[in-house]
Amino acid sequence: MAKSPHQPPSPWRVALTFDVEHADRPAHPDGTQRVLDTLSERDVLATHFVQGRWAQAHPALARELAARGHLIGNHSHHHARMTWLSPHGLVQDVKHAEQAIRRVTGQDPRPWFRCPFGDGTDDPLVLSHLDRLGYQETSWHIDPFDWRAKATGPQVARTVIAEATAHGDGAVVLFHPWTDATGRALPLVIDGLRAAGARFVRMDEL
């Protein structure tokens, strides 16, 4: 049987990425640990964009992320919208996060940076400052809105599997590990995409 023109070639790459940050709404108390354990159980490496203040508050877990072979990126220090900051404020925020992440994990998060809320991903001024600091802004293709109060694990999983398959090779998925929906969805996502021929990679493998 001929392969559907909408079905990606096999094997094809998917990058699972997580914004590891202080939650701004009710969160699963052990969400990041739950995600980390699921990734280990299923032998998947991912990319984690770590908020500097979060790394300071949870140093053991931040070190574990790095120790298990995941790629560590910078997700700012205060999780402020980048376009709301002055040039000096933006530079200081990024540097403070980098220092905290390096102290805690022993890893340099450069060149991987993700703007909080995606704010600044296409702003020339923000991008120029990040470039001078040694970073490239790293956006995503698939956002299952796992942070919404009504999000459920099966719903998030269906969205990710459908949209990643439609995108094909190089799909970048955004997750928030503090949500209950992500914890429930992640095993379904990994198993479903693997069944569709996907191979999971870190951002530095795309």
Check 75, 77, 129, 176 and give the catalytic one.
Answer: 176
- CB atoms < 10 A from the CB of 43, how many? 8
Distance CA 91, CA 73 (A): 16
Q: How many CA atoms lie within 13 A of 164 on its CB side?
A: 31
Q: Is 93 a catalytic residue?
A: no
Q: Is 169 a catalytic residue?
A: no
Q: How many CA atoms lie within 13 A of 183 on its CB side?
A: 14
Give the torsion sign (CA, 7, 41, 137, 112). negative
**Active site residues per annotation:** 19, 176
